[in-house]
Structure 1
Amino acid sequence: MPTTTAPGQPFAWNIPESFNFGADVVDRHAADPALTALLWSNAAGKEERYSYADMARLTNRFANALAARGIAKGDRVLVMLPRIPQWQIALVGCLKLGAIPIPCIEMLTERDIAYRLAHSEARAVVTTAASTAKFAAIAGMPALRIAVGDPPTGWTSWAAALEEAPDAFVPAAVQAEDPAILFYTSGSTGHPKGVTHAARALYAWRVSAEHWHGLQRGDVMWCTADTGWSKAGTSILFGPWSRGAAVVFHDGPFDPRARFERMVRHRVNVFCAAATEFRRLVQEDVAGLDLSALRQAISAGESVNPAVVKRWTALTGVPLREAYGQTETLMTVLTMAADEPRPGSMGRAAPGSDIAVIDEEGRRLPPDTPGLLAVGLPNPQVMLGYWKDPELTADSRLEGPDGSWFLTGDRATLDADGYFHYLGRNDDLINSAGYRIGPLEVENALIEHPAVQEVAAVPSPDEERGEVVKAFVVLRAGLSGSPELVKELQDFVKTLTAPYKYPRRIEFVDELPKNPSGKILRRELKAREFAAHGATP
């Protein structure tokens, strides 16, 4: 494993030969019965506290419940739950058993779910009773279906399954290179990609919790990420729990004032949110609120405008530190807790990671030269590969004169002080409020509408979300565009794929730009769209 890191910080990974997060983290912290793991609440005002000892017992029960129903090490388990304690219990219970959880956001549609189930060959599903209707018409459903709440016929009750399960469980032996978790993420072409991480990654993600979050044992952290994001895994579960910290987990709508009030109530030390939230939060008046426990705020997924960073610090008195990562790598560039934030920079290479800006041949480029952002290999944080797609996995690697690299697909510059500056994607992915959206997913949905002949989806600059999806639509002969048709197409997309992917802007055009072979030139449309908004793609 590489041991390079930021200047002056000697580091060695020391990855164990075997690592079971449930046993080696949760069960070990459970030795202190007073140590808090989870502070949960919902919009109705209900609150619950769980210690690590509680979580050790409940995750043992869930692992036993799975094992009693035929789930074994290596089996995939789709987990589609909101911000409720069962999410952590399900993920850690799977990990104790050696099963591979697949965290999914609740916004997935029936078609999204069907693809993930078929592609992963999942053997079990865990969701809420309210979401079971999305699974009703899916062919080839797994035999084991567990629902939180009052389950319909054919589903196992979560409460009943755990009630009858024993408290004791012998965790599986999980080798460092064994597959441990599977995330689905958008690609610039085709279906979502299944990003497979090994157990070593679950161990390695503690590094960002220490050096970026700055977490200590007994701290309280609140990350507002959605449960299907890999960011939720590292900042709501794997990172803070590896450090013995408690996490705040709130199931409710975004309310800027309530965000601050909850920080006060739980004495939050580290707050994590997307740039979109910070743009709203800095508009609040926090006079009279005791934010003295808050040490810092962090953000990732999209760049935070430097003006917002400055306003946040002026408002709260604490820094806002950004970082960079991907589902395939998680956080590899950090504005570390010991560093002074530089607005506009993602930070420096994380301890243990060799991050570079390279050319197309894999050569390191000199400072301030735009190029491909790459992660030196081997690195325990980098994925095992894309599930059932060795060719795509191979395409993400590059052997060059300066070493082996994982290609992030992003472009950046590196200054003389070792700080990275993001320049944008090297492909067609759309980054909207931290969600990465593949254009083909939007286009495949729109093309099913009877009014649509051709379509191209591209990013469009947006002050609040960074980018939003814009669709250029060619209608069938004899039809004309209208505001009513725009709304109809938007609603149509929401029924076929996760609603956050719908095109917030639609423009009707007579034709789409294409190359001589007939391929749609999305980049030309993107350049036109950014120019229209006075922005640079």
Structure 2
Amino acid sequence: MAQAEQADQAPDGFDWAIPETFNFATDVVDHWATDGDPLALIWQNAAGDERRFQFSDISHLTKRVAHAMREAGIAKGDRVLIVMPRIPEWQISLVAAMRIGAVPIPCIEMLTAREIAYRAEHSGAVAVVCRAGHAERIEPGLDAVAIRFSVGPRAGWRDMTEAYDRSEEAEAATVAAEDPAMMYYTSGSTGYPKGVVHAARAVFGWRYAARYWLDLRPGERIWCGADTGWSKAGTSVLIGPWSEGAASFHYDGPFDPAERLRLLARHRITVYCAPATELYRVVQEDIAAHDLSALRRTVSAGEAMNPVVADQWTRATGVPVAEAYGQTETLMTALTTTEVTPKLGSMGMAAPGCTLAVIGDDGHRLPDGEVGHVALLTPCPTMMLGYWNDPERTEQSHVSGPDGRWFLTGDLASRDADGYFWYEGRSDDVINSAGYRIGPIEVENAVLEHEAVQECAVVGAPDDERGEVVKAYIVLKRGVTPDDALVADIQNHVKRVASPYKYPRRIEFRDDLPKGHTGKVLRRALRDEARTQAQAGRE
């Protein structure tokens, strides 16, 4: 028997109510600036420096930066790389770009010049915004980018912060619901990262996850530590909280589990959004030593939550962990809303307004309890417009069935009789390590540039703390002797030519790699081997 119709978490009369036009800068930021003007942003760094912004502050600053962007030649529809750490200028530059109808592309600072070059050339970006101190590192990748803004003075660049004191404010662009509004790059199992383009309707629709999952209210405070290039930061640090009139706490400092607890207490955080990897470390601290009385909701997404960790957190704080699930292409499609009881380890239930199912290769729904592809029925307002300049790949990510056209998420899961989804792994080779999506090809290409390497295959290996870690199986060139020094050298090489988070934490040297009859490396066989090794190590 196929799955029953999904359990409905939506409130009575739920309606997406997508407007014909939507500009986040005017319809959210400017709205709250004149409707009570609540606190929008609290920023702190590791040194203890702090800055606070009301919505009116964000409104005025983004109008002035938007004017400077337009004056520099950025127009509606232009792509703008935002290469920024967790500083207020990340929010300010993103909203300023959206104000004039440009399409921001958030990027983490860890990206190398080569990775920036790919994004710049692939997207056709006309502009970039980054810290002055970081500009030198990525300049070699910006040959095709003519308009350059820095946070702070840098020769040959426009200082974005100079606009803060000017009086000129940009008129906002009219952005239709189907106009491109944001773009993210996400790793796939083959080739280079894909450009995921979201329409203004999706930016509008992200408020519902903030309302029904994050359960945010005007005047409340959320802390989500997602990195600035992740779509999760877009939804849970910027778009979601501000759509609901809530403030985001933005911390620019290293991860320290004890410091996490101190900051939660100090800033009276009401909603804490943490991936499983983070909670795994935080629950080992003395939680009782901190005043978390303001905390009323804890949520998690991005990677599978260990039920034991979730239970430890709940016992220590009295606040259960409400999980959710989504992708860069769709954003949150399964939620644990305030209306349902969390099931530890579950991905949640289909989000309000979303039809999520477990289907077979033929597009038919599978019976409850059976493992299959997690798929989203389209059209759906939060679904991407498509992969940038790649209609073929966009089409390949869909399959048709009796219910219509499904988007395949790339994940495998089962669904229980109550409508909760349970993660069973990836259907492709993408590695999810501590919430970072890592494409094996990107790492393999970097490893193969090392002078000692003949062949390489990269897979995700199970890890108790990070969920998965990157493992490289390497065949060395003739005459090269494997040792610990070579392992370290290969790892450091990958850190130099690719983002540091992509380096292989585990390396195994082999005489050969398993291959099919066409000569293609069988990553699945290696992945199964890595899982078997991990399981044996736990026994």
Give the TM-score band, short-chain normalised. Answer: over 0.9
CA apart distance, 1:5: 6.7
Kindly provide the CA deviation profile for residues 343-386 of structure 1, in whole angstroms up to 9, marking residues without a partner as x: 12111000000001111111111111111110011101110000
Give the letter aligned to residue 22 of structure 1.
Answer: A
CA apart distance, 1:164: 3.5
Flag structure 2 segments of 5+ consecutive residues without an equivalent. Answer: none
**Separation in 2, partners of 1:268, 1:75:** 36
Aligned to 2:383: 382
Local SS of the residue matching 1:39: strand
After superposition, the Cα gap between the structure-2 partners of 1:139 and 1:171, relative to the gap in structure 1 and judged at 3 Å, is closer
After superposition, the Cα gap between the structure-2 partners of 1:316 and 1:254, relative to the gap in structure 1 and judged at 3 Å, is same
Aligned to 2:446: 445
Give the letter aligned to residue 502 of structure 2.
Answer: K
CA apart distance, 1:289: 2.1
**Separation in 1, partners of 2:163, 2:71:** 10
- Contact preservation (8 Å) 2:74, 2:102: yes
- Contact preservation (8 Å) 1:64, 1:165: no
Aligned to 2:326: 325
- Contact preservation (8 Å) 1:182, 1:194: yes
After superposition, the Cα gap between the structure-2 partners of 1:448 and 1:514, relative to the gap in structure 1 and judged at 3 Å, is same
Local SS of the residue matching 1:136: helix
Local SS of the residue matching 1:534: helix
- Contact preservation (8 Å) 1:5, 1:353: no
Aligned to 2:506: 505
Aligned to 1:460: 461
- Contact preservation (8 Å) 1:386, 1:393: yes
CA apart distance, 1:397: 1.4
**Separation in 1, partners of 2:439, 2:536:** 21
- Contact preservation (8 Å) 2:189, 2:429: yes
Aligned to 1:13: 16
Local SS of the residue matching 2:141: coil
Local SS of the residue matching 1:94: helix
**Separation in 1, partners of 2:167, 2:497:** 38
Give the letter aligned to residue 88 of structure 1.
Answer: Q
Q: TM-score, normalised by structure 1?
A: 0.97
**Separation in 1, partners of 2:421, 2:151:** 44
After superposition, the Cα gap between the structure-2 partners of 1:7 and 1:276, relative to the gap in structure 1 and judged at 3 Å, is closer
Aligned to 1:104: 107
Give the letter aligned to residue 156 of structure 2.
Answer: G
Within 5 Å, which residues of 2 pair with 1:213-362? 213-362=214-363
- Contact preservation (8 Å) 1:32, 1:53: no
Give the letter aligned to residue 110 of structure 1.
Answer: A
Kindly provide the CA deviation profile for residues 246-276 of structure 1, in whole angstroms up to 9, marking residues without a partner as x: 1101111111121111111111110011111
Aligned-pair Cα RMSD in Å? 1.5
- Contact preservation (8 Å) 1:218, 1:245: yes
Aligned to 1:484: 485
After superposition, the Cα gap between the structure-2 partners of 1:7 and 1:185, relative to the gap in structure 1 and judged at 3 Å, is closer
Give the letter aligned to residue 493 of structure 1.
Answer: V
Local SS of the residue matching 1:50: strand
Kindly provide the CA deviation profile for residues 148-192 of structure 1, in whole angstroms up to 9, marking residues without a partner as x: 1231x21111222443351x3321110111010010010100000
Aligned to 2:436: 435
- Contact preservation (8 Å) 1:94, 1:100: yes
Give the letter aligned to residue 505 of structure 2.
Answer: R
After superposition, the Cα gap between the structure-2 partners of 1:5 and 1:29, relative to the gap in structure 1 and judged at 3 Å, is farther
Local SS of the residue matching 1:169: coil
After superposition, the Cα gap between the structure-2 partners of 1:127 and 1:214, relative to the gap in structure 1 and judged at 3 Å, is same
Local SS of the residue matching 2:241: helix
Give the letter aligned to residue 264 of structure 1.
Answer: A
Q: Percent identical across equivalent pairs?
A: 55
Q: TM-score, normalised by structure 2?
A: 0.97
**Separation in 2, partners of 1:467, 1:165:** 50
CA apart distance, 1:33: 5.4
**Separation in 2, partners of 1:516, 1:288:** 60
Give the letter aligned to residue 126 of structure 1.
Answer: V
Say whether residues 1:169 and 2:170 are aligned partners.
yes
**Separation in 1, partners of 2:84, 2:523:** 35
**Separation in 2, partners of 1:498, 1:161:** 32
Kindly provide the CA deviation profile for residues 316-344 of structure 1, in whole angstroms up to 9, marking residues without a partner as x: 11111111000001111011122221012
- Contact preservation (8 Å) 1:4, 1:352: no
- Contact preservation (8 Å) 1:21, 1:202: yes
**Separation in 1, partners of 2:536, 2:347:** 20
Local SS of the residue matching 1:25: helix
**Separation in 2, partners of 1:183, 1:8:** 28
Aligned pair count reads 532
Kindly provide the CA deviation profile for residues 506-529 of structure 1, in whole angstroms up to 9, marking residues without a partner as x: 011000010111100000011111
- Contact preservation (8 Å) 2:120, 2:142: no
**Separation in 2, partners of 1:482, 1:424:** 33
CA apart distance, 1:8: 6.8
**Separation in 1, partners of 2:167, 2:494:** 42
Give the letter aligned to residue 148 of structure 2.
Answer: R
**Separation in 1, partners of 2:536, 2:52:** 47
Aligned to 2:189: 188
Kindly provide the CA deviation profile for residues 400-434 of structure 1, in whole angstroms up to 9, marking residues without a partner as x: 11211111011111111000001111000111001
CA apart distance, 1:9: 3.4
Which of 124, 137, 141 aligns to 2:144? It is 141
- Contact preservation (8 Å) 2:301, 2:324: yes
